Amino acid sequence: MDELREVLVGESPDGVRWVVRAGVDSTGGFYTSINRSLGDATAESGMGGEALAPGRVINFWIGQADGTPLFVMARTAPRVQRVTVVLASGFRRDLSMSPVIEDFDLRFTAGRLPDGDPPVSMEVAVEGGETQVHALRWPPPRFRPSSRGS
């Protein structure tokens, strides 16, 4: 994989720090990673593939690792103006966004999500007034505890 470049850095009020890096991988695809740290706990996750699927304005990842809180990260088309995560409580969380990274023709966004208030959707505001809504399910169905009685 070619060298990944730092495209976004952030820190939440409770001290979680993150760095998003991106670049072209050795197969010609695109790779984006996020490194999170909180105290002694660190985690790195990422997503590869097409920078954006044809006709799409966002490609996102959501996840959590031992010792670090739930995070969301995305790469977007340059015309995306805002990304908002809507939580189960109804609380809305705007994510910080990078400027357009010209040589990638993308913007990047990431943010920590609160404990105990799972995300239910992501709103993507695009130039011209369009807002796309993408459903989110956390935890993913394969990790949810069974609701059947024993």
Domain map of the chain by residue range? 5-143
Determine the length of the chain.
150
Virtual torsion, Cα 83, 100, 71, 130, nearest 10 deg: 20
Task: Give the model confidence (pLDDT) of 13-68 as tens digits.
Answer: 999 999 999 999 888 899 999 999 988 889 999 999 999 999 999 999 999 887 78
What does DSSP assign to residue 143? G
Q: What is the mean pLDDT of residues 3-20?
A: 94
Pick the range with the lowest mean pLDDT from 13-17, 30-34, 97-101, 103-107: 13-17
pLDDT of residue 1: 54
Residues 115-132, mean pLDDT to the nearest whole number: 94
d(Cα 82, Cα 131) in Å, to the nearest integer?
9
pLDDT value at residue 8:
98
**Average pLDDT along the chain:** 90
pLDDT at 92: 96
Residue 146 has pLDDT above 60, yes or no: no
Residue 141 has pLDDT above 70, yes or no: no
